[in-house]
Structure 1
Amino acid sequence: MNEVRTAARRLATASRDKVTCAPVRDLVGDAEAYEVQQLNIAARVADGAVQVGRKIGLTSPAVRRQLGVGQPDFGVLLDDMAFKDGDVLPTGRLLQPRVEAEVAFVLSEDLDEGPFDEETVARAVGAVLASLEIVDSRVEGWNITFADTVADNASAGLFVLGSEQKDLRDVTTEDVRMTLKLNGEERSTGTGADCMGDPLTALAWLATTSAALGDPLKAGEVVLSGALGPVVPVVAGDEVEATITGLGTVRASFGRNG
């Protein structure tokens, strides 16, 4: 437990001081990484943050190849991470941000009793949206293994939900196509099938995993289902636009002074 607390302090200090830190895999392995994540989330909640959802990471083969990690993971979304379509994002809160486009689900029912598959989780989806996730690693140079990114809340940073809420019955999530532009230039493309075969498959995986850990998904939560294509580094002054067929376009810019 001492190693878990030491790893949690290392990551929390990096986040607070806005200075990257060494990996934590010298302290914890895969089995303990979620304990580190939970300690730091509990501290954030104790300071007033509110949990609003979850994010699934490493669902895209392209992203796993980019980061050298071989399996999906998940993290927690807090209210101070959430931004609206078109917002200027506070770049000063970030260390080494990268952006990716995802299908987001808003749950209308709890997912606390499995087994879960695409059909059962679909019934719990109240709305589906285009979204941007800004991932950010507290670990220097994105030098991460599975244990490092899980401990670091699945490298969560900020997220932006699109303004168009769609009924899941009107969208075939595995068939959607995504294009992400940075400053008007196309930088990332992909499809729903690039997210574990279907974003609903990713949602079913998360529902199963969360329930097994004793923290099932709840009605009202937002779930970012994972990247549809390669992540793209961003800096202050950049403008990002992602279009997902059937879900519309979501935009954000990165502030120079925030």
Structure 2
Amino acid sequence: MRIRALPTALAGAALLLGGGAVLAQIEGGSRGAAPVDSGSAYEVSGVIVDVAGPSADAARYGGWRLAQRKAWVQLSNRLGGGGALVSDGTLDSLVSGIVVENEQIGPQRYVAKLGVLFDRTRAGSLLGISSYADRSQPMLVIPVQWSGGVGQVFEQRTEWQQAWARYRTGNSSIDYVRPSGSGPDALLLNVGQTQRPGRGWWRTIIDQYGASDILVPVVTLYRQWPGGPVIGVFEARHGPDNALIGRFTLRVGNPD
């Protein structure tokens, strides 16, 4: 499988003044989240199953089997294949993964919401369609999270970074390039860099990651009081000029 809530290249003076502290901060702690690889798969999500069986394992196995069948019908209809069923043996060769979105396992019952990933080449061949997808130029994704007045990208592992790492891009027309946050990512891709208009340095970074352009998804979190409501302002920004594409706001009753 291929799916995935910014300070390095700041000015040289910042590195000279606080170089040791900056390196220590970046090397310590937990950071980085490998993106889910879903570019070579078709995904059908939200498949609901409710299966009984002689044991918990048997019920779960039956639930996954049923999810494969239901997901194949949905995928076939979606891609113009007519929704015809195929054998379980054929499905086993087509399915590249099962994603558990939510599940409840009882002694003899299995209730779940699942996602099913199908190998793009094999499924496309069976449905008589090309596995080629017309996608955008590669877009380097730099997920920025602001919380408490502090902006972060890969300095520490954030929920926003992990959300983008988990995002499955197989059905998207956008070709996302999602850094894992390991190695030099925290130094090269940071809040300061997203606000830096210099084309020369941007071109160096883009070329290093094999991308053609930049996409900066930003979330700014406002906590009303400890344990109270949280307001998130989500923005999509694009290019070296950090141009705003769109914005929306969500509010939840508590941090959980």
Q: Specify if TM > 0.5.
A: no
- Higher relative contact order (Cα pairs below 8 Å, separated by 6+ residues): 1
State which structure, 1 or 2, has the greater radius of gyration over its C-alpha atoms: 2
Q: TM-score, normalised by structure 1?
A: 0.25
